[in-house]
Structure 1
């Protein structure tokens, strides 16, 4: 208790275990940004893949949410989450390390990239579901917005600096070797998470676990509640059209505009500054307008700027990309802070794993479809037209949110959804307790 006054002055920065989690997330976010640029460039420049192949590569990374998303939530609710996160980090590090190794042996193929992306996606599902459900055991509910802001700010800084670093690494080391940075980052992340000292409470386990019953409970928790249902719908729209965007943006910048890897990194860095601005602005916006309105206002204001991206041309015309990506990044990061805080404040702590997995299944499950659609459209009508269609689709997000009860409320509703009662489920001391959790995120994926 002696460090409590210091922690009150410094906020979560004085919380040793949160710092370990925060550093782990920051390090891995920087590594991820290298792969976000390097993996498609490996396919495009090293393996000479076209838009359909890049679309499949992006789809593979998110296919895990469809295949194992719901069972992963049940599994994470029955086990301590920190060991799951450490194992997932180490698995991802090993998978990514195989790419530069294969390139060094002159044995790298597009099929290996597909396999690495798919397996990495599986590990990421377990990590993210455990991560979203772990934070309430680490910090107090009143630290929700601060925790969300710190994690999102780190992700946004990584999105700003990461592409520039990635561009330099790709040019100096080649794209396959640049992926080594992400492998190292996942290894370091696992070490920092393993360094957390606070004992995680043992999860409650039913006497007779039934996977299908627990999956149905998670689905019902989200689909029966109008607010959670609206958040799932809006976030699914974000991720669907951002996946279309991701499938063709590298081809658009590298082939259509003939930009170098270094310049692509600089453009992504400049545009991604909007994410940091959104993370810094979100707490003040939430205090001023309330948490519910803080969910739908950023997409309403920021996403229309994304229409500038497909208007990008060389030279001075590159400003259109920076402004458009800045607006999208601002909107999505601010939206993420508010919507994650809101939805997980509503959920009983004992059902966080199932709720998070259900949200991930519903919102990330559309991403393979979006990536494949983006690849097909890119091959058929061109990358520029596909980007325009993706940005028009993003404008549905504020419409979905405004049509929900969120438009009529300022703060949290008095009630909260409860999981479906189960005769086989043992009572838990944490069931029904409203404990929020924070999640890091990035403009290429919400939820």
Structure 2
């Protein structure tokens, strides 16, 4: 574990200002760790670029190539299909070879090259939906490798007692990207074009790779992981009640949110009549709720309990999105409801995400973390292409607004597996991982 820098002693007879004491209590010692600062900065930059792509890629399909609802759903499915196909094996690979930082750098560079091909093809006049599908699938594949490796690098840099704080800071960066990314994407698309806006994401991946190359934390190699490693990770999840309930609830929620997200930009543009700039601004301003959520999760979990904070976020996240299908066609009323929906959804997402990540990391033994994260992505993110395809098909057959209602109702119902589980009764972060021998005996 990396050593922490001891702060200089206070001068005798000199009292620090009260505001400085309050800030010092809120800032974790993580902020003094060089490796964590650079990991945090790398992920912040990468998240920001990702949010530009999340808006710019479907806008490229809709505004530049005239994609239909089913084609937009297929594009969203292509971007997340790799989670379903590769996550389990990617987790076993990361646990066995342990080179998390190098894998993340390679994934960043690969995604930069792939996304750069879109504006290049646009300039040459040869851009097609087929290329967008391929780019979405391949960048999604590299994202799987990046994400399963990020868990191992995070736990190599962050002390166990600081998992909630570390997740709060990193997910706070994710929240910031929700604010700045969609707004920037909407403005860039309005000023230039959707394909050209992807250049911002190319630059973000290059910056992230440079920062990650500058840190070298200890990363033990786990050669004991074999072909059976995938099954071992799945067995651990299956026999751990808290993780089993978490995976079931989040897989269902991920499916229905993908139904929602596959259509929300199309719904805002064609049904509500909002411009590209207004859509980006609405998503960005509304995402201030995610910033608030990342700031209050620690205090909320301390007051009501970590498990209850997780359940509360899991309910609030989809429930807030009901305001979108309630929005009237056109006008400031549509803008206001979409903004409120994004605000409440972002707040709930951070409560759910930060507390849920900390619980999963604390319950999982170190040598299984990448495999458990791989299993999580296989179920949670693997449900996204199915949801996106279902959203596209339902949107074409029954209409955009009714499909959004299905997504909201299904998302709210996803909280049900959590209620009888140990999670609502989990007050604090577990002090130690679940005993592997205990799990192996099926107790």
TM-score normalised by length of structure 1: 0.90
SS in 2 for 1:292: helix
Tell me the matched-pair count: 419
Pairing 1:321–2:338 present: yes
Which among 119, 126, 132 is matched to residue 151 of structure 2?
A: 132
Pairing 1:283–2:298 present: yes
In structure 2, distance between residues paired with 1:41 and 1:113? 11
Pairing 1:237–2:252 present: yes
Contact 2:35 2:217 in 1 (8 A): no
Change in 2 beyond 3 A, CA 1:2/1:113: closer
Q: Deviations over 1:63-90 (max 9, x none)?
A: 1111111110110001211000000000
Distance apart, 1:395 and its partner CA: 0.6
Which among 50, 66, 70 is matched to residue 68 of structure 2?
A: 50
SS in 2 for 1:75: helix
Describe how 1:210-249 pairs up with structure 2 within 5 A: 210-211=226-227, 213-249=228-264
Q: Deviations over 1:374-421 (max 9, x none)?
A: 000111111111111111111113322112122334235677434579
- 2:419 match: 402
Describe how 1:56-95 pairs up with structure 2 within 5 A: 56-79=74-97, 80-95=99-114
Distance apart, 1:133 and its partner CA: 1.8
Contact 1:65 1:360 in 2 (8 A): yes
In structure 2, distance between residues paired with 1:419 and 1:194? 33
SS in 2 for 1:43: helix
- 1:363 match: 380
Q: Deviations over 1:318-373 (max 9, x none)?
A: 21111122111111111000011001100100111111101111111111100000
- 2:12 match: none
In structure 2, distance between residues paired with 1:172 and 1:287? 45
Change in 2 beyond 3 A, CA 1:338/1:241: same
Distance apart, 1:301 and its partner CA: 4.3
Which among 191, 200, 225 is matched to residue 172 of structure 1?
A: 191
Which among 366, 369, 392 is matched to residue 375 of structure 1?
A: 392
Contact 1:217 1:419 in 2 (8 A): no
Contact 2:100 2:219 in 1 (8 A): no
Change in 2 beyond 3 A, CA 1:77/1:41: same
Change in 2 beyond 3 A, CA 1:140/1:186: same
Q: Unaligned regions of 5+ residues in structure 2, if any?
A: 9-23
Pairing 1:273–2:288 present: yes
Contact 2:50 2:201 in 1 (8 A): yes
Change in 2 beyond 3 A, CA 1:130/1:411: same
In structure 2, distance between residues paired with 1:4 and 1:69? 40
Distance apart, 1:202 and its partner CA: 2.7
In structure 2, distance between residues paired with 1:2 and 1:369? 45
Q: What root-mean-square deviation, in Å, do the aligned CA atoms of Structure 1 and Structure 2 show?
A: 2.0
Q: Deviations over 1:275-330 (max 9, x none)?
A: 11111110001111222222112233453222111111222322111112211111
Describe how 1:113-192 pairs up with structure 2 within 5 A: 113-192=132-211
Contact 1:34 1:163 in 2 (8 A): yes
Q: Deviations over 1:213-236 (max 9, x none)?
A: 111101001111110001101111
Distance apart, 1:3 and its partner CA: 2.2
Pairing 1:14–2:14 present: no
- 2:410 match: 393
Contact 1:132 1:356 in 2 (8 A): yes
Change in 2 beyond 3 A, CA 1:69/1:301: closer
Contact 2:152 2:370 in 1 (8 A): yes
Distance apart, 1:154 and its partner CA: 1.0
In structure 1, distance between residues paired with 2:135 and 2:172? 28
In structure 2, distance between residues paired with 1:320 and 1:421? 49
Contact 1:344 1:352 in 2 (8 A): yes
- 1:344 match: 361
